[in-house]
Amino acid sequence: MKATPRNILSILELIDWGGHVELPIGDLQWLAAELAVRLGNSNMQVCDSCNKARAIVISTALGPMCDDCIRIARKAAYDARLALEDEV
């Protein structure tokens, strides 16, 4: 069995969490992605924004972010700046 986020998530879902802290599905998905990256033989990291394993992940004040999420955030900030300038 390959250490993919989907495979690890299916294993985590089979664990009897009774009597222990139960994790919401979002946290289980994050944990599965982190474990898949750590167990796989790659130099990838998980982006905190999209929860996907990426080769390029940069530490930011908002947490580790991939280049795609940084690009999207930068465009959203630029668009917001333009919208504010248009109102003035």
E strands present in the chain: 45-46, 53-54, 57-60, 63-66
Q: What is the pLDDT of residue 20?
A: 75
- pLDDT tens per residue across span 39-64: 876 778 888 898 888 889 999 998 99
Other C-beta atoms lying within 10 Å of the C-beta of residue 51: 14
Say if residues 54 and 47 touch (Cβ distance below 8 Å): yes
Low-confidence ranges of the chain (pLDDT < 70): 41, 88
Listed by start position, the domains of the chain span: 1-42, 45-88
Q: What is the pLDDT of residue 82?
A: 93
- Is the entire prediction scored with pTM above 0.75? no
* Closest to 64 (Cα-Cα) out of 86, 88, 37: 37
